[in-house]
Amino acid sequence: MRILILIFCAFVLIATGLPLIDSPAWWIRIFDFPRIQISVLTLFAILIAFFFLNLKWAQKLPLLLILAVALIYQISFVVVYTPLYKTQAKDSTMPVEKNSFTLFVANVRMENEDKESFYSLVKKIDPDLLLITEPDQSWANSISRLDDDFPYSVNFPLENTYGMILLSKLPLTESAVNFLVLDDVPSIFTKITLPSGVKIDFYGVHPEPPKPGTDTYERDTELLIIGKMIKESKNPTVVAGDLNDVGWSVTSKLFRKYSELVDPREGRGLFNTYSVFVPFMRYPLDHIFYSKEFGLLDLRKLEKIGSDHFPILIGLNYEPDSDNTEGLETTDVAEEAEVEEKIQDGKKESKEN
């Protein structure tokens, strides 16, 4: 019994400590995701160690203190995404119809055969923009039923789960499908023209996740390259998609600080979008980040569509004369140098592979 308890305590401490290592190795970065789950397991470890671990208090107390520190450390990552924390992205105070739009983001899961649930939900929500990740040609054929509703589009279905389609009621210009790091993982760039005539930059992304045999250099590099484009352009910007990353990861936070984008989840909720099928193992993987010119009108996790991801909906209002953020963090010189280093290392790694 004592050995089993000590092994369990060691596991939660190792799971807490591994992400402190600055490495793109998948077996390290995978522990960025389950902060909540590890917090629950750490609390359980504290309880069973306190009540059932047969050790002298001189030995037990240091273990309990270390576990308590680990628990507080894990909670510090996710408390940002609860109402206990301040909201970084402010609600809109001056909604104007000609400057407002809704964006529906959905990973449809390429193998998902339930195309009617997706179609019905889109018709029900009736968004202005629709970003779809993981469509293959079969999904593209089904989605074509929406062409009359969305006259503008960027279509790039693929058979490798990294296809992407953007549908829009608003005019799209300068649209491009880019391969920033890997030749088979695209991202979308376009300019969206609002009814007022204002143009905003839009990036649709779906980088590879960390998994056995796949480290995170591609995901991290792609996000930071996009962050650099945003920083240099200084245009009003929205970034959306299945980032295969959580908002509290080192890379995600560095990306947002560098590009000066906000996460509307902060202070509002986790809005976990993955996995539909395993409720205990859910994370916020589908994201919408945006620049300070936008006020938040709406943010919702939507109903199931047969995919392993829940769709997410956001409503934004362009407010150029306002800073709709609070406590927006920016990078210092050292962090900007870190971004450049990670981009160069990631490009080098992609060429070697």
Give the H/E segment covering residue 8.
Answer: helix 2-17
pTM reported for the whole predicted model: 0.93
DSSP category for residue 164: E
Per-residue pLDDT, 24 = 83
Cα-to-chain-centroid distance, residue 117: 23
| Domain boundaries of the chain, sorted by first residue | 2-81, 97-343
Dist. CA 346–CA 172, nearest whole Å: 30
User: Which residue numbers in the chain have pLDDT < 50?
Assistant: none
Render pLDDT for 34-63 as a digit per residue (tens, 0 to 9): 999 999 999 999 999 999 988 888 889 999
**Residues ≥6 apart with Cβ < 8 Å to 308:** 107, 109, 274, 275, 276, 277
Closest CA to 167 of 158, 157, 180, 181: 157
CA-nearest of 288, 315, 283 to 299 is: 315
Instruction: Check residue 189 and give its pLDDT.
Output: 98
Please give the pLDDT value at position 211: 78
- Sheet bearing 199-205, strands edge to edge: 172-178, 187-193, 199-205, 237-242, 286-290
In this structure, whether the domain defined by 97-343 belongs to CATH 3.30.70.1140 is answered with no
